[in-house]
Amino acid sequence: MSTNPQSTTDRSDLPRTLIGGAVAGMAAAMAMAMFAMVASVTYQHHGFFTPLFHISALVESPKAMMISVQQAMDGHRFWFTPGAALAGLMVHMVTGAMFGVAFAVIARAVPRRVLVVAGALYGLGVFVIASFVFLPIAAAVTGSGTTISHMGQMVGWSTFAIEHMMFGIALGAILSATAARSKGSSNAVASDRRPRVAL
């Protein structure tokens, strides 16, 4: 009974793909969070940490988010409380890892040269799915109400869409760079294994 070497290789690479996708997703989530926080403290005139406090409302009271907005109105745009910030960051990173894994699996069938573009489109797809499916379901399950289910509307649809597109672009760029490095390493190993002819 014969086996397909390519199929065997694909299966053996799957754990590495999943782990790489999770790591890339968390890194891209950090890039998204930084964009969201800069947007929050600049043209939205909220607090710098308000986006993290907003996310934390999924697992705890939205009080920190509301205080952050009020403090920003009073001129204190960097008001901070560690508990809510950590909760928001953890939720955001886990979510980023999950979407990173999904994209890494998809990216196996996407040429490396278009991964960044594919990532941007993927990020916009995540924006749509999160806004109209995942967030309402999460709000219903956790009882967090409109603070979570209407997150896109509260943040601003255009800002929310750009945040997710930034996530996708970062995700595509990271996976593209990883693929290039992996290909370079494979070529180097193959070169070392070639028989050498003595002169």
Instruction: Specify the pLDDT at position 29.
Output: 98
pLDDT at 3 over 70: no
Instruction: Specify the pLDDT at position 190.
Output: 45
3 state DSSP class of 109: coil
Banded pLDDT at 104 (limits 50, 70, 90): very high
Distance from first CA to last CA of the chain, Å, rounded?
A: 43
Instruction: Write the DSSP symbol of residue 113.
Output: G
Dist CA 135 CA 151 (whole Å) = 8
pLDDT at 186 over 70: no
Higher pLDDT, 63 or 7: 63
3 state DSSP class of 180: helix
Ranges assigned E (strand) in the chain: none
Mind listing the pLDDT tens digit for each residue in 73-94? 999 999 999 999 999 999 999 9
Q: pTM for this one?
A: 0.85
Dist CA 56 CA 147 (whole Å) = 10
Burial code (b: 16+ CB inside 10 Å, e: under 16) for 126-141 equals: bbeebbeebbbebbee
pLDDT at 121 over 90: yes
Dist CA 163 CA 130 (whole Å) = 12
Banded pLDDT at 152 (limits 50, 70, 90): very high
Banded pLDDT at 10 (limits 50, 70, 90): low
pLDDT at 26 over 80: yes
Across the chain, what does the average pLDDT equal?
89
